[in-house]
Structure 1
Amino acid sequence: MVEDIPTRIKSLDWESIQNELDENGFAKLPPILTKDECESFMGLYNEEESYRTTINMTRYRFGNGEYKYFSYPLPEVIQSLRESFYPELAKTANRWLGYLKKPELFPDNLQDFLKTCEEYEQTRPTPLTSFSRSLPLL
């Protein structure tokens, strides 16, 4: 039986991940999503109603391809990933603010963070997906 996404994320070695983030600014994680979840997620790319905006990268000289911002309600897999990763990443952000001698800014849960964003009229969802076309090497 496959564990649900929150359980998979909670069971990661967060002490090690936090150390890697502090040391390197990034951390490599083991696979989080199952093959079926990945395929389902990739299938969303052609469902235009799932997105609020599509950006053509070539138009802005960002390279070849496009990226799309999801609209609310977010797909279940995206919402679950956001809610599950947020608490640990908020700890990281607050710890890093402490290194800069700044007060903690990020609340413990995603819903409280989104309420703060709403107070500042930041109400559009930020998760995005992208598609790039590789250019052949000459």
Structure 2
Amino acid sequence: MGRRKKARPARSRGRQVKLDAIHWSEVGARLDSDGCAVVRGLLDGDACRAYASAYDAAARYRSRVVMERHGFGRGEYQYFAYPLPDRLAHLRRALYPSLAHIANRWHAAMGMEVRFPDDHAAFIARCHAAGQLRPTPLILQYREGDYNCLHQDLYGEHVFPLQVAVLLSRPGEDFNGGEFVLTEQRPRMQSRVEVVQLKQGDAVIFPVNLRPVSGARGVYRVSM
């Protein structure tokens, strides 16, 4: 995905954002209007480098996927194993309640019956009761010319409708190109494309599948 440059000694981009400083009303408004929302500096440079440098630590992961073998694109990714790294587990627990509030509001708007508990542990228990036992957080690795085909990450009966991705590398320094692209398929209209500009440590929140959109005749569903 893009052309990699020779790495230079990295510098920290400053402290990561405090989770209680995230303006969730703004995040929700962005998701409603644009279909995605960016949280700047969710991870600092040191945390990003720590995750990236541990990519070859096989004990951290439960499986590795080479995308070209499955027609997914070019590159690879690995699913984290339980127990998750402490920082990752904390982020997942801390982000979940506010995301669940948005998810429940969206499901109500779309007339979908499923609701999500306020507590992340309760949602995990629901998944485990349905036989969904494997952790789904993953880390991707791209080299020169690699790419990821457009796709949806849908796994199992219980699918949480929002997803968070964090850029670990430095655009313009570690790589060129490599844009994060979302497409929105609207009923009886042409698809809309959104290119999300991220810096190292920034997170993008986006739908896994469906989101509600308000139109002249009320709310309708679009697929991402």
Taking structure 2 as the reference length, the TM-score comes to 0.56
Q: Is contact 1:90–1:107 with CA below 8 Å preserved after alignment?
A: yes
Deviation per CA, 1:7-31: give whole Å up to 9, x if none. x122111111110011111001111
Q: Indicate yes or no: 2:86 matched with 1:76.
A: yes
Amino acid paired to 2:24:
W
Where in structure 2 are the equivalents of 1:92-111 lying within 5 Å?
A: 92-111=102-121
Where structure 1 has 5 or more consecutive residues not aligned to the other structure, the ranges are none
Q: Indicate yes or no: 2:53 matched with 1:43.
A: yes
Where in structure 2 are the equivalents of 1:24-35 lying within 5 Å?
A: 24-35=34-45
Report the equivalent of 2:217.
Answer: none
Report the equivalent of 1:117.
Answer: 127
Where structure 2 has 5 or more consecutive residues not aligned to the other structure, the ranges are 1-14, 147-224
The Cα of 1:104 is off from its aligned counterpart by 4.8
Report the equivalent of 1:57.
Answer: 67
| Structure with more helix by fraction | 1
Q: Is contact 1:64–1:134 with CA below 8 Å preserved after alignment?
A: no
| Structure with more strand by fraction | 2
The Cα of 1:116 is off from its aligned counterpart by 0.4
Taking structure 1 as the reference length, the TM-score comes to 0.89
The Cα of 1:134 is off from its aligned counterpart by 2.7
Q: Which has the higher contact order (CA 8 A, sep 6+)?
A: 2
Q: Is contact 1:41–1:77 with CA below 8 Å preserved after alignment?
A: no
Amino acid paired to 1:119:
A
Amino acid paired to 2:53:
G
Report the equivalent of 2:138.
Answer: 128
Runs of 4 or more, structure 1, over 4 Å off, are none
